[in-house]
Chains A and B, each alone.
Chain A
Amino acid sequence: MQTTFTVNGKNVTLEAAPNTLLVQALREQMQLTGTHVGCDTAQCGACTVLMNGNAIKSCNVLLAQAQGAQITTIEGLANADGSMHPMQEAFKNCHGLQCGFCTPGMVMSAVNLCAQKPEASTQDIRHMLEGNLCRCTGYQNIVVAVQQGAAAMKA
């Protein structure tokens, strides 16, 4: 079946079987491999992308459910000149990662939480990142990065 949607600002039509997951289409058909598959059971959040402005887990959504939707992946965040999005910059500056596997999902979730709640407190950030697991950092620097990124996004 055909699905037409927008990915990182480009209109795309994909032909895929109905049981194709959104993350499979992004990674395997569009080669957007920045979106990771961690647990494949909708728990870890590594596959988080934005769908119509909401953070969602692309391993637990069918491509067909994205018909007509606006999708943003980690590849869609950087500026046209290749410079980093303020949230990416903040993760780099604050060392908000170690192995980096969860980072694309963390960054997408963080960008979205700042859009939904620009004045998020540390406690809000921890609550709102509940759907993203990191097995390296203990979250300390991630939370600091999100705070810095939030400030930079407002500036």
Chain B
Amino acid sequence: MYTFTYERPTSLQQALALIDAGGQALGGGQTLLASMKQRLHNPEQLVDLSQVPELQGIRQQGNAWVVGAFCRHQDVASHAGLKAALPGLAHLAEGIGDRQVRAMGTLGGSVANNDPAACYPSAVLALGATVHTNQRSIAADDFFQGLYTTALDAGELITAIEFPVAQRAAYAKFKQPASRFALVGVFVAQTASGVRVAITGAGNGVFRHAGLEAALSQSFTPEAVEQVVIDDQDLNGDLHASAQYRAHLIKVQTQRAVQQALA
């Protein structure tokens, strides 16, 4: 790793001043530190957010759950209230990486990084969540902008994510067994305004699928997506899976997610 300086602010105000001056926010570091070791990243300063109280906590707010950006995956997976209201989201958190990674990694870190095969972006997008930052609130549909790209400006920090409670929601991931990232992951949410389907692992970044959404809005059953055509044109193909195979998995994982949501 290159050398850097390290700060551990104890308030949001302090953290924002450091980040505004060019510091790199550090969540749990499970992706950031690994990529710094590979010298893919070379921040001059890390700003450890672990002691910032404003970024902590999971709370209910009306018909939504607000999860602080620094909540670790294991906190989301094991929160009784959240688990009862949004079991699909807790289940997703329970399946990220492995237990050691889940003990460190944070919601804000994962969403800000927007890895094209990360799990969390699919939940944020399918549930129509709102990303709160120190400056504004961003709708999920506007937040994710493809490969490692988000609507966040320089100096802007995710403070919390607000997940509206869905009527039904579930996540089905087909794991890449070595990395445990999603080869294809599908998050399905049935909401008052229709069904939303968000897919991770298959493309350039998380995306919604209009055909699957239309079919499931008509009939929320695994059979309903049978005739939906999944175009493999823009999907990833690599040594782990061809684009055609990923297209096939999208349908299968959608059916599994619907089954889980109905169970």
Contact = CB atoms under 8 A, between A and B. Distances in A.
**B interface SS class:** loop
B74 interface: yes
A1 B1 CA distance: 16
A61 B46 CA distance: 13
Interface string B138-154: 00000000000000000
A131 B99 contact: yes
Contact of A57 (B6, B8, B101, B180): B101
Interface stretch (A62-70, A83-91, A96-104, A137-145): A62-70
Given A42-B30, A65-B50, A19 B104 contact: no
Contacts of A61: 29, 33, 104
Given A65-B48, A65-B50, A60 B99 contact: no
A57 B98 CA distance: 10
B180 A19 contact: no
Interface of B: 1-6, 8, 26, 29-30, 33-34, 37, 46, 48, 50, 74, 97-101, 103-104, 178-180
A103 B46 CA distance: 33
Interface residues of A, number: 28
Contacts of A18: 3-6, 46
B6 A128 contact: no
Contacts, number: 71
A19 B99 contact: no
A124 B15 CA distance: 39
Given A19-B1, A60-B33, A131 B100 contact: yes
Interface in A1-19: 1, 17-19
A113 B99 contact: yes
Contacts of A109: 99-100
B60 to A, nearest CB: 25
Contacts of B8: 64, 67
